[in-house]
Structure 1
């Protein structure tokens, strides 16, 4: 009896030390993004969005199936590298996470999605835009933003119809994201009778673009589109100025960050850059987005970079499905996640189609003036 009492006391002490009661349901949410490397500022932004959601859920005291849930964030770094991305995915699977929010890049999201599917673990990407992600037939894959068909195509049409681009050059970084969005941009240009006078490529770690920009300069473009990330776009813009290329510069969400003016080292002319973010809020959602941004700055001491609000919504949508199913078991809440419709998040109303894509996804067009990002329009 004395031994039994000691064992009970010891287990009670362990439970108290961890802040978890014997009745609590521990729910592990995995997050993966590049928190090291050239776009670590974007990866950390995403991770912060997840952390904020987890902290708020724990403060609310959410119950799932009649048990109080204790949420834990398991955060992994994929350095925007596909191999590291699949290693991070396997680590989360081995840790028996209940769901995953991530990855940030299409190039890491797509290979990791096969592992999550095989393990039966729901995955919501807050930012991967390559169409292939949700077209592989994996019922575990969801995304909270419009895809490259919408994003690239809209930018391509905008280049011809609004910017009146006559001679358009296209560069991509050969990643799944960069090449994908550039291909869709080119289709959008051609659909409106525009002319693509050059198609060049670089890589996502390059810093010297003299050869390709010199070649492009000879074609006298009025618009240059880059499919890639801000860490490459910044030096490219600097070198365009050095070479006297005065074309408008366009890109997708990868370049559309608050860091771009700094990365371009003050070489941005007002209105020179036009970019689109896969997402956007209008009307009633502006107030909730403004509140999120203020709360984020108060919590982390920095401004939102890009996709933190989408990560925040992804965590909450996942947990809402668990609550509805009365279970955090992936097999049990996955059907409820797939049926998500009319969920009011900070990024808008969330509903998934049969592929796991966001229904009626918005795009926000931006430019830069005085070194600050300025919204032009929200389009659907």
Structure 2
């Protein structure tokens, strides 16, 4: 009897072993600000990645004759460069070879060296051009760059809004400086008069002194190179000071958080440029929004669809390569075309998207609404 139990137990162990042998576990790393002022963005991005992983595990893909089980390993980089490097090292030490993130350019630039040295594939929405100028062959930008975001916002200001006098405020982060400089460059090329370039930081909340000096210059618009936690209070203070200028920005203020923090000071006076086509008009956009809302009980924010696409891009490349080896998957990403929710992903030799439309948004009822894509 006892002997029979041992035989049965061994048989079950053998079956479990066979089942495991038929399954490959692939860890997908996520690096983003899950705490602090930008946590709304980090959690939204994490949700996008989680949705993709849940879908892949519900209908498993087969690679090299084995079903692939995906696991999300999500880490809080606090939107801080030093913490981001530590997160990168932690993910690499835990055997992660595929990463979506970081969200912040200032984190992505130093962390990408750690990922590159470990041979990991990275899909980031960090928009500073320097990210893909480092020469890393397994690093991809799955979004428009600052040069596209900043310049398209400047073109819109000149051609559509017919503005003449603008000013720039940047928060001295890698993202803020990059997008502000690109806006300024294109604004000047489009005949706009840039009458001031002021500086703040990504922890500030009082912009009264800067705004008062810009009010005296009679600016028609202020471009903020920075994030929603600064943009919301800035819009409030512009209203309090009686500044009727428009507040312009890049992708990081195209978020519901902007309306939440700015209240009734955030409306059609605020415009922002975000990478990607209008989600509602994208082929699978409405379906993605519906799935996201069903699972997380909220609407997706700026980059949930991009992080979802990043995970799906890796999975698609694994199928094409019939391998989970990062070098082979990387070759498939570099050579292929993947049609995602937020865009079509094919890359140049630096890892930038060959085509990345930009959508200009404004706000209604404190929510970002798309105006036009170009």
TM-score by length of 1: 0.93
Give unpaired runs (5+ residues) of structure 2.
none
Residue in structure 1 matched with residue 42 of structure 2 by the alignment:
43
Residue in structure 1 matched with residue 204 of structure 2 by the alignment:
206
Residue in structure 1 matched with residue 166 of structure 2 by the alignment:
168
Where 1:21 maps in the other structure, the secondary structure is helix
Residue in structure 2 matched with residue 355 of structure 1 by the alignment:
350
Tell me, yes or no, if the aligned pair for 2:179 and 2:250 is still in contact at 8 Å. yes
Tell me, yes or no, if the aligned pair for 1:170 and 1:226 is still in contact at 8 Å. yes
Which among 311, 314, 327 is matched to residue 315 of structure 1?
Answer: 311
Measured after TM superposition, the shift of residue 261 of structure 1 is 1.4
Distance in 1 (alpha carbons) for counterparts of 2:188 and 2:75? 40
Distance in 2 (alpha carbons) for counterparts of 1:13 and 1:216? 72
TM-score by length of 2: 0.94
Give unpaired runs (5+ residues) of structure 1.
none
Q: Does residue 64 of the first structure (1) align with residue 63 of the second (2)? A: yes
Residue in structure 2 matched with residue 263 of structure 1 by the alignment:
261
Measured after TM superposition, the shift of residue 5 of structure 1 is 6.2
Measured after TM superposition, the shift of residue 82 of structure 1 is 0.5
User: CA offsets per residue over residues 31-59 of structure 1, 9 Å max, x none?
Assistant: 11111010101100000001010111011
Residue in structure 2 matched with residue 103 of structure 1 by the alignment:
102
Q: What are the within-5 Å matches in structure 2 for residues 195-234 of structure 1?
A: 195-234=193-232
User: CA offsets per residue over residues 77-112 of structure 1, 9 Å max, x none?
Assistant: 111001111111101100111211111111111111
Residue in structure 2 matched with residue 30 of structure 1 by the alignment:
29
**Distance change (3 Å), C-alpha of 1:48 and 1:158:** same
Q: How many residues align?
A: 371
Residue in structure 2 matched with residue 338 of structure 1 by the alignment:
334
Distance in 1 (alpha carbons) for counterparts of 2:315 and 2:350? 20
Tell me, yes or no, if the aligned pair for 1:82 and 1:111 is still in contact at 8 Å. yes
Where 2:252 maps in the other structure, the secondary structure is coil
Distance in 2 (alpha carbons) for counterparts of 1:157 and 1:281? 18
RMSD: 2.0
Where 1:304 maps in the other structure, the secondary structure is coil
Residue in structure 2 matched with residue 189 of structure 1 by the alignment:
187
Where 2:265 maps in the other structure, the secondary structure is coil
**Distance change (3 Å), C-alpha of 1:57 and 1:245:** same
Where 2:55 maps in the other structure, the secondary structure is helix
Tell me, yes or no, if the aligned pair for 2:279 and 2:342 is still in contact at 8 Å. no
Where 1:293 maps in the other structure, the secondary structure is helix
**Distance change (3 Å), C-alpha of 1:227 and 1:23:** same
Distance in 1 (alpha carbons) for counterparts of 2:325 and 2:339? 24
Tell me, yes or no, if the aligned pair for 2:263 and 2:366 is still in contact at 8 Å. no
Distance in 2 (alpha carbons) for counterparts of 1:89 and 1:11? 36
Distance in 2 (alpha carbons) for counterparts of 1:9 and 1:363? 58
Where 1:264 maps in the other structure, the secondary structure is helix
Where 1:236 maps in the other structure, the secondary structure is helix
Distance in 2 (alpha carbons) for counterparts of 1:324 and 1:140? 17
